[in-house]
Structure 1
Amino acid sequence: MARPPRLVLAQQAHHLIQRGNNRQAIVQSDADRQQFLDILRDCAATHKVAIHAYVLMDNHIHLLATPAEEQGLSRMMQSLGRRYVAWYNFKYQRSGTLWEGRFRAALIEGEHHFMACMRYIELNPLRAGICAQAADFPWSSCAHHLGRRGDALVTDHMLFWSLGNTPFERELAYRELLDQGLAEVERRQLTEAVFKGLPLCRPEFLQQLSEQTTRPLLARPRGRPLGSVKLGKEIDSDPI
């Protein structure tokens, strides 16, 4: 059965995740991580995609990104996959795919969902128990948003800028949001949305979308319809 096309809108933020095949590592060293991010930065610029937040874990990548054009996300991820996998395979004398299928994506709209998604992404290493503070993890955008370092990969979204009139005010406000953490219901909502390709947005925006597409925009009722068991297992576990 063919997969439905992704719901992607130009000039709108989206949450993306790409995992390693069978959850295997996609990076093995800091040199790999730097190479991955360098290629990602180049691909994002080429295909006009603004990266607002990211975290590169050992076996997956999260992005919060806005494409200038509808096809920008797919083109960026395809280019990233071709270039990085070719480099990685050559370095480690391996062959074949590195990814677990195509990347997942969910449209993110509205201040509440956007800021929750930023925290979801940047708190990932903390949830995984690999650092004491989210900003200590060097392979995410968290340190950038807290003013510890600049990050050429990141393009700050206007919703982040709305946190304060000065860099200090924005950093302080975002630090307070991070300290609040993320409610379990929000974490599960964000996980389910990205794996099912469902939008997270305000009701009025959802109504506008429903008038433009026949694609399902809401999660189906819980149960065990045919073909749902495998997907359910993916959603039940946090992709860390």
Structure 2
Amino acid sequence: MPYRKIVFANNEVYHIVNRGVADSPIFVSPKEYQRFLNLIDFYHFADLTTNFSHYMTLELKTRELFRQKMKNPLVEILAYCLMPNHFHLLLKQIKDNGISKMLANLQNGYVRYFNLRHNRHGPLFQSMFKAVRIETDEQLLHVSRYIHLNPTTSYLVKSENLLSYPWSSLAEYLHERKPIFTNPSLVLALAGGKKSYKNFVYDQIEYQRELNKIKHLTLENS
């Protein structure tokens, strides 16, 4: 059984990644991307009084009222990006074992949904998600940019279309879309605001220059 060396500590930030088994797709339709986001929103809270399946059967107004009462987060979600065969999360742990609890519920819930939808059995994700602790403000900025640039660096979208990629928190950072569960304030404050962060993200020359410095701090090559 795999053993995780990293210890998740409260008030620390971690870059989380997991991939499909053998790099197989984990999202094949917009509905599946949206389901994963809904699961993130639901399972990043503690002390839930119902399960996600029942929550989704509620009428919209009832669901909104239920959501408003969810005030006890396990983690704070700083950034995310969903890709066809993997996902990135930038999480600050709030409660003991918060990251582990959230990821277990998130992944298990999504695998059940995906397997039922595709009439398949067995694991969907690699056996253990990868995690790196963010140690400095500079690292936090660069890793957030690395996450947000994934759709472009993977040639999924052209750089001019990066902001319209719907499965990333970048549009929430730049006030093009209202955040549901993401809190961009920490990273934006470090960057000096929305405009400065946009320049920082879109600065391809600087990004390429910094990439070699942060490879060991990210999870794509680990």
Could you tell me the TM-score, scaled by structure 1's length? 0.74
**2:160 matches 1:136:** no
Partner of 1:41: 41
Write the letter of the residue equivalent to 1:151.
Answer: P
Q: How many residues align?
A: 193
User: Equivalent residues in 2 for 1:223-234 (5 A)?
Assistant: none
Q: 1:16-35 counterparts in 2 under 5 A?
A: 16-35=16-35
Secondary structure (helix, strand or coil) at the match of 1:235 reads coil
Paired position in structure 1 for 2:139: 113
Query: Which of 199, 209, 222 is the equivalent residue of 1:176?
Result: 199
1:155 is matched with 183
Letter in 2 for 1:193: L
Q: CA deviation at 1:81?
A: 1.2
C-alpha contact (below 8 Å) 1:19/1:100 kept by paired residues: yes
Q: Is the 8 A contact 1:108 1:114 kept in 2?
A: yes
Consecutive unaligned residues in structure 2, runs of 5 or more = 47-72
Query: Larger RCO: Structure 1 or Structure 2 (Cα < 8 Å, ≥ 6 residues apart)?
Result: 2
Q: 1:2 to 1:130 in 2, by over 3 A?
A: closer
Distance of 1:12 and 1:159 partners within structure 2: 14
1:193 aligns with 2:179: no
State the match for 1:235 in structure 2: 221
Between the aligned partners of 1:155 and 1:45, the Cα distance in structure 2 is 14
Classify the secondary structure of the residue corresponding to 1:149.
Answer: coil
1:2-26 CA distances to partner (integer Å, 9 max, x unpaired)?
A: 6342232211111010100000001
1:40 positional shift? 1.1
Cα drift, residue 140 of structure 1: 0.1
User: Partners in 2 of 1:150 and 1:48 — Cα distance?
Assistant: 21
- The percentage of counterpart residues that share the same residue type is 26
Q: Secondary structure at the match of 1:45?
A: coil
Q: Measure, in 1, the Cα distance between the counterparts of 2:190 and 2:196.
A: 10
Query: Could you tell me how far apart the structure 2 residues matched to 1:90 and 1:189 are?
Result: 42
Q: For the structure 1 residues 189 and 69, does the alpha-carbon distance in structure 2 shift closer, same or farther, using more than 3 Å as the test?
A: farther
Q: Is the 8 A contact 1:54 1:140 kept in 2?
A: yes
How far off is 1:151 after superposition? Answer: 2.0
Q: CA deviation at 1:110?
A: 2.1
Tell me what 2:11 maps to: 11
The answer to whether the 8 A contact 2:143-2:218 is kept is no
Q: Alpha carbon RMSD of aligned pairs, Å?
A: 2.1
